[in-house]
Structure 1
C-alpha cells in the first residue's frame, strides 16, 4: 500500500486563517487515514491525502478532483445544507489561495470540499460518550434511513453488488488486508475464528443473500454509517454525512449492511439498548422482517472493517505517535467485538506464576512458555530493565529497599500489567512470572483478565525449605540470574506472604516445585485443557 504526504504548501496554507474567503479566528486541523480536515468556525474544508490503499487511490490530482465532486454529489442526498462546493487550492503570487474548481485562475495544487461546519459537540459519537443519546433519537435515525433506502434507486448494476459472490469479495478483502495484523492487532486464533465464521455464513446462506437481492434490499447507500458521521442537532433532524465516494463497491450494498455499521457502533459504545431501538424502528418503518437473519453477519463484517481502518491509521507516519498507539488499541477492540459476533473464539489465558524465592516458579513458567508458545513476562527482568540494569546484573538491596522498595515494586507490576494487557487485547495468551506476595496485585491481574475476556490461572509454586536452600546457594555460586533472591531474604518474604482471597482462590492451583518437571508440566497442561486450551496452529492461513 503506497503512502504519500500531502503537499506541504497546501497544508501550510489551509492552517492559516488568511487563506479562507471568510473571517476565521483559528484553524483546527484533524486527520483520518485518508483525509485532512480543517475546521475554521463557519466552514470545514476536507482535503484528500494522496494515498493508495488498494480499495481507494487518491494519488493523482485528477483523481482527487473527481472524488471531491463525487463526495459533494453523494452527500447532498442526506446532508444538502452541509455540503457547499468544491474549491481548488491554487498558487497565486507565490502563495496558496482558494478558488472555484472550474475556474481556478492559477496553478492548481489540490482540491477541497467546503462544508458548513457542524456543532462538534453535537456529533453523535461525542454524545454517546457523554451518555446524551436516547432511544427517540436513534428511532428518528431508523425512520430517516428507512426513507433514504426506499427512495434510493437500485437497478441491475447496484443489485449485482448484493450477490453472494460480491459480498464474499468484500469479506475476503477484509481478511487479505488484515492478514499481516496478526500478532499486532489480533491474535492468529481470533483472526481465524472471525474469518471462518464469515466465510462459513456466506457458504451456508447463499439463498438468503439471493433472496434479499430479489427483494430490492441492495441500494446505493452510505457505506460508512457510524456515529462519527452523524450529527444530532438540538430540535432538528439527524444529519448523516461523509458517505463513501471513492469505491462504489463499498456503497452499493444491502441496506442491512449499512444499518449494521451503526448497530455495531452502538454496541461498541456499550449501548445495546440503543441498538435494539434503532433496529426495531427501522424494521417497522422499512418492513424488512428478514433483517435479523443477516444483521449479526454484517455487524461482524463492519467490526472488521473498523479494525482494518484503525490498523491503517496505526501505520500512518503522518499521525502523532500517541494517536497511532490509541488506534492500535481501537483496532484490537474491534477485532474482539467481531469475534463476539462470530460466536466466540478459542479461549486465551492469563497465567500468573507466584511464590517465594527459590521454589522454581520462574523455571516452571519458562517451561510452560516453551510448551505453549506464549510469551513470559518476568518481574525480575522488568525490574532490572526499568532501573537501567542488565537482567543478570546483581543487586544487593535489602528487602523493601532500593530496587525492591515500594516505588520500584509498584512500577514493576504496573509495567507487567500494561505488557500483559497488550497481549490480551489481541486475544492472545500470556504468562506473568512474579512473586505476587500481596493479594492486591493478584486482584489487579484478575481484573485485567476479566476486562479482556481472558481465562485466568493463578499458579502458586512452593517447595520444601531444604529444596529452596539448595537452589539459592547454587544460584549464589553460579551468578548471572535475573533473580536477586538470597537465603537471608527468605524469612522476611515469607512473613509478608498473603494467602489467597476468596476471589483468588477460585482460580488458584498449587504446584510442588520440588517435583520432577514432567508431572508438573502435565498438571498445568491438564488444568489449561480443562478450561478449553488447544495448542494453536503455528501455520497461518
Structure 2
C-alpha cells in the first residue's frame, strides 16, 4: 500500500495529472497530509497512517474523513471547501474525478478539493510581519463567539466537557510527549507542566461541572490557530481546516477552542492582541467565566502544538530542513506551556571562565558529572571546528594560527550554537572557556535571555605560583586538549577584559586552589541560592 500511495503522490506532482490548467505547482506537508497548490485550486491527500488519535490507515477511513472535512469546514468557510475528489484508474493511467462520479470500488485515493486562498494573507505570516491589526483580532473574537453560540447544546457534545474526558486528553498529551524528553523538552520542564495541569483539574472540579451546566461545551473547530486563518484585507476572516478525524478534539469547552488562538498570539509575542481577542469574545458571547479557565487550556494547547511538531520531526517523509524547524517550534511551545504553568524550576547557563590552568576546566567537568548536565569545552570545540584531533598539540604564538581572532570567534559561536538547543528545551548546560573578552560574555548573556535560562559566570582564579606549576605539568604531557603554556600566561593576563557591570550581577568567584570538595560545595550552594533544586 505504501508504494501505491507514493505513486499517487508522484502523480499529484505532475501538472498534466490535473483536469484543469496548473498555473503553479507547490507541494506542502503536514504530519497528516500532503497538500498540492495549483494556482487556483488546492488538493489535500491524507497520509495512510494510524497515530492512535487519528486513523487514516484504510481507504474507507480516508474517504469517510474527506467527506467529513468538507461538511464540517463549510460551517466557517463554505466558499473554500468545494468537494471530495477521487484518484481512479483510467485508460491513461490515473485520473482525478469528483468522488460522486466514481464507483467506490474504483477509488484508489480520495482528496479534498479547495479554493486556493491568498497565502500571503495567512495569519501566521502576517503575525511574523507584524501586520495583524486590532480590527482583525476584534473580528476574529466576534466571529468565533458567534460560531460557538450557534452550535447549540447536546448531551453527546456535553459528555466531552466533563472533567473525566478533559483528563483523558491531558493525560494523552503527556503520554505522547514523554518519549520526546531530551529532544523537545527537559524532564523538569515537562514535569512542571504536567504537575500544573493535573493540579488545576484536581482543584477546580466544580468549575468544569459549571462549564457543562451553563452550555459552554460546543462542537467547535478543534485546531483554531493562526496557520488556519486567512485575513483578507476587505472581508471577514476565513477560518478553515477544522478537525474532522476525532470528535474528542472537536467536542470541547469553547474556552479550549479559543485558547488555541489565544496561545498562538502569545507564541508570536502579541500579548496585547491576546487580551483584545478575549475581551471581544467575552463581550460578544457573554461567557465571563471563560477567564477562570482560559490559562489552563492555553497551557494544554501549547503542549498539543509541541506534540504535533514533535510528530513531524519523526516523519521520514518530511524534508530535513522542515524537521529542524519543527523541532525548534516544539521546544518553543513547551517553553510557553511552562510559562503558563508558572512552576518550572530555573535552568542554568553556567559559564566557567578564567586564566589558563586556573582549574576552570576541571571544575566544569566535576560539576557536570555531579549534576548530570551536558558541558562543552572551548579547547575541544576549537579543534573540532578546525577538523583536528582534540588532543593534538598546537604551539601557535599568541593570537596566531588556531588561536587567531577569526578562529576564536568561530569557537565561541560554536559554543553558543551547541548550547542553544539544550537551553531551548529547559536543560541546564555548562560551558568552559576563558571568556576573556566582554563581547563573548555578552553573547552568552543574550543566549540566556533568548532561551529563558538563568546565567551564571563562575570566574575561577588561582595564585601565580599555582598557575605556573600546573602549566609546567601540563606541558610535560605529549598530548592534551589545552594548548595553554607558561610563555602565553602574561599575554592572557594583560588581554583579559574586566567584567562589565551587567556581568557582575551574574558573577561568582571561586578559588581554584581550594580542596576539590569545598569548591564543589560552594558551587552547589550558589546554584541552590539561585533556585536550583526547588
Task: Please name the residue that 1:308 is paired with.
Answer: 307
Q: What is the distance in 2 between the residues matched to 1:255 and 1:410?
A: 52
| Contact persistence 1:437–1:498 (CA under 8 A) | yes
Q: What is the distance in 2 between the residues matched to 1:524 and 1:89?
A: 66
Verify: 1:357 aligned to 2:345, yes or no.
Answer: no
* 1:513-541 Cα deviation digits (max 9, x unpaired): 11111221121111111110118xxxxxx
TM-score (norm 2): 0.98
Task: Please name the residue that 2:26 is paired with.
Answer: 28
Task: Please name the residue that 2:87 is paired with.
Answer: 89
Q: What is the distance in 2 between the residues matched to 1:26 and 1:235?
A: 25
Verify: 1:323 aligned to 2:293, yes or no.
Answer: no
| Contact persistence 1:6–1:49 (CA under 8 A) | no
Alignment of 1:396-475 (within 5 A): 396-475=395-474
| Contact persistence 1:358–1:485 (CA under 8 A) | yes
| Contact persistence 1:38–1:44 (CA under 8 A) | yes
1:127 CA displacement: 1.1
1:395 CA displacement: 1.4
1:107 CA displacement: 3.9
Verify: 1:372 aligned to 2:371, yes or no.
Answer: yes
Q: What is the distance in 1 between the residues matched to 2:499 and 2:323?
A: 39
Verify: 1:62 aligned to 2:46, yes or no.
Answer: no
1:390 CA displacement: 2.0
Q: What is the distance in 2 between the residues matched to 1:79 and 1:13?
A: 28
Task: Please name the residue that 1:333 is paired with.
Answer: 332
Q: What is the distance in 2 between the residues matched to 1:210 and 1:99?
A: 48
Q: What is the distance in 1 between the residues matched to 2:180 and 2:153?
A: 36
* 1:403-455 Cα deviation digits (max 9, x unpaired): 11122111111110011111110111000000111110000101111111111
1:480 CA displacement: 2.9
Task: Please name the residue that 1:145 is paired with.
Answer: 144
* 1:9-48 Cα deviation digits (max 9, x unpaired): 2112111222222211221111101001111111111010
For residue 79 of structure 1, give the secondary structure of its aligned residue in structure 2.
Answer: coil
CA separation of 1:434/1:5 partners in 2, compared to 1, >3 Å: closer, same or farther?
farther
* 1:129-185 Cα deviation digits (max 9, x unpaired): 111111111111111111111111331111000000000000000000000111111
| Contact persistence 2:350–2:431 (CA under 8 A) | yes
Task: Please name the residue that 2:75 is paired with.
Answer: 77
Task: Please name the residue that 1:539 is paired with.
Answer: none
* 1:267-311 Cα deviation digits (max 9, x unpaired): 111111111111101101111010110000000000000000000
Q: What is the distance in 1 between the residues matched to 2:207 and 2:95?
A: 53
* 1:92-147 Cα deviation digits (max 9, x unpaired): 23532201213326843211100010111111111111111111111111111111
1:357 CA displacement: 0.7
Q: What is the distance in 2 between the residues matched to 1:87 and 1:60?
A: 17
1:507 CA displacement: 1.0
Task: Please name the residue that 1:40 is paired with.
Answer: 38
For residue 522 of structure 2, give the secondary structure of its aligned residue in structure 1.
Answer: helix
TM-score (norm 1): 0.96
Q: What is the distance in 2 between the residues matched to 1:6 and 1:243?
A: 28
Q: What is the distance in 2 between the residues matched to 1:230 and 1:118?
A: 10
Task: Please name the residue that 1:122 is paired with.
Answer: 121
Alignment of 1:230-249 (within 5 A): 230-249=229-248
Q: What is the distance in 2 between the residues matched to 1:304 and 1:261?
A: 10
Verify: 1:52 aligned to 2:50, yes or no.
Answer: yes
* 1:479-527 Cα deviation digits (max 9, x unpaired): 3321111111111111211110111122111111111112211211111
Q: Any stretches of 5+ residues in structure 1 without a counterpart?
A: 536-541
**Worse-superposed segment, 383-392 or 266-275:** 383-392
| Contact persistence 1:46–1:112 (CA under 8 A) | yes
Alignment of 1:476-515 (within 5 A): 476-515=475-514
1:347 CA displacement: 0.5
* 1:325-354 Cα deviation digits (max 9, x unpaired): 111110000000000111130000010001
| Contact persistence 2:23–2:40 (CA under 8 A) | no
For residue 49 of structure 2, give the secondary structure of its aligned residue in structure 1.
Answer: coil
Q: What is the distance in 2 between the residues matched to 1:86 and 1:412?
A: 55
Q: What is the distance in 2 between the residues matched to 1:87 and 1:275?
A: 38
Q: What is the distance in 1 between the residues matched to 2:290 and 2:156?
A: 22
CA separation of 1:390/1:123 partners in 2, compared to 1, >3 Å: closer, same or farther?
same
Q: What is the distance in 1 between the residues matched to 2:237 and 2:2?
A: 35
Q: What is the distance in 2 between the residues matched to 1:481 and 1:206?
A: 62
Verify: 1:17 aligned to 2:15, yes or no.
Answer: yes
Q: What is the distance in 2 between the residues matched to 1:141 and 1:497?
A: 56
Q: What is the distance in 1 between the residues matched to 2:92 and 2:133?
A: 52
Verify: 1:7 aligned to 2:5, yes or no.
Answer: yes
For residue 514 of structure 1, give the secondary structure of its aligned residue in structure 2.
Answer: coil
Q: What is the distance in 2 between the residues matched to 1:8 and 1:191?
A: 36
Aligned pairs, number: 533
CA separation of 1:270/1:6 partners in 2, compared to 1, >3 Å: closer, same or farther?
farther
| Contact persistence 1:9–1:96 (CA under 8 A) | no
Q: What is the distance in 1 between the residues matched to 2:278 and 2:241?
A: 22
* 1:459-480 Cα deviation digits (max 9, x unpaired): 1111111111111111122333
| Contact persistence 2:346–2:532 (CA under 8 A) | yes
| Contact persistence 1:13–1:97 (CA under 8 A) | no
